[in-house]
């Protein structure tokens, strides 16, 4: 099967190749850099923060009025509470927590991202001091990682998302913890 495919490619190349001396066809050959030379594939991300430069665009892209999704988004998340996003340096061995007071059953979601190591940090969500879920870590590039968590509670109480830097270096963490009342 592979031999037939190779033969077909060779025949197609020979058929579409211009005849030497034919000036009606201009052939331009370009070399594309190897995918292994692409900075994103190699894991070389800028270390100057979370944002990726967006050219010279001064304002966010605006949707046409008929495609405005803001009312739909607002309705879907009207019962969602989220504190501000916490972003800070976290020394090796240190723990940072974000708290929410829940009035009743809720869906909890957390996101922790870090820059400075690909080692997995310890991330968990607890309700009333009892751990409900631990994060599943992922790594990105050569010095970044993160963890996502999600769980539903059967009652209210004091909920906490905590991250402990279990690596041997200081990292920059970004923590978001949200609750949606059910």
Give 153-171 as a 3 state SS string: CCCCEEEEEEEECCCCCCE
Confirm or reject CATH 2.40.50.100 for domain 89-181, answering yes or no: no
Average pLDDT of the residues in 3-26: 57
Tokens of 8: 């077909």
Give per-residue pLDDT as tens, 114-172: 999 999 999 999 999 999 999 999 998 889 999 999 999 999 999 999 999 999 999 99
Confidence of residue 59 (pLDDT cuts 50, 70, 90): very low
Lowest mean pLDDT among 2-6, 45-49, 167-171: 2-6
Least confident of 57-61, 105-109, 168-172: 57-61
In angstroms, rounded to a whole number, what is the distance separating the alpha carbons of residues 30 and 14? 19
Comparing 64 with 85, the larger pLDDT belongs to 85
The pLDDT of residue 145 is 93
| pLDDT at residue 78, as a whole number | 74
Instruction: Please report, for the chain, the start and end positions of each structural domain, with discontinuous segments joined by +.
Output: 89-181
Cα separation, 179 vs 77, in Å, equals 10
pLDDT band for position 47 (cuts 50, 70, 90): low
């Amino acid at each position: 099967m592979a031999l037939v495919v190779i033969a077909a490619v060779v025949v197609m190349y020979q058929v579409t190749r211009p005849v030497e001396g034919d000036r009606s066809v201009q052939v331009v050959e370009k070399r594309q850099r190897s995918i292994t030379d692409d900075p994103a594939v190699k894991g070389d991300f800028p270390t100057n923060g979370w944002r990726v430069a967006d050219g010279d665009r001064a304002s966010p892209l605006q949707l046409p009025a008929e495609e405005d999704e803001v009312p739909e988004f607002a309705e879907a998340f009207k019962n969602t509470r989220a504190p501000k996003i916490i972003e800070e340096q976290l020394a090796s061995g240190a723990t940072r927590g974000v708290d929410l007071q829940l009035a009743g059953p809720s869906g909890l979601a957390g996101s922790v991202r870090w820059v400075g190591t690909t080692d997995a940090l310890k991330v968990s969500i607890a309700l009333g001091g009892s751990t409900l879920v631990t994060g599943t870590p992922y790594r990105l590039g050569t010095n970044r990682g993160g963890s996502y968590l999600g769980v539903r509670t059967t009652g209210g109480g004091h909920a906490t998302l905590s991250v402990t830097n279990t690596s041997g270096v200081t990292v920059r963490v970004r923590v978001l913890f949200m609750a949606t009342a059910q």
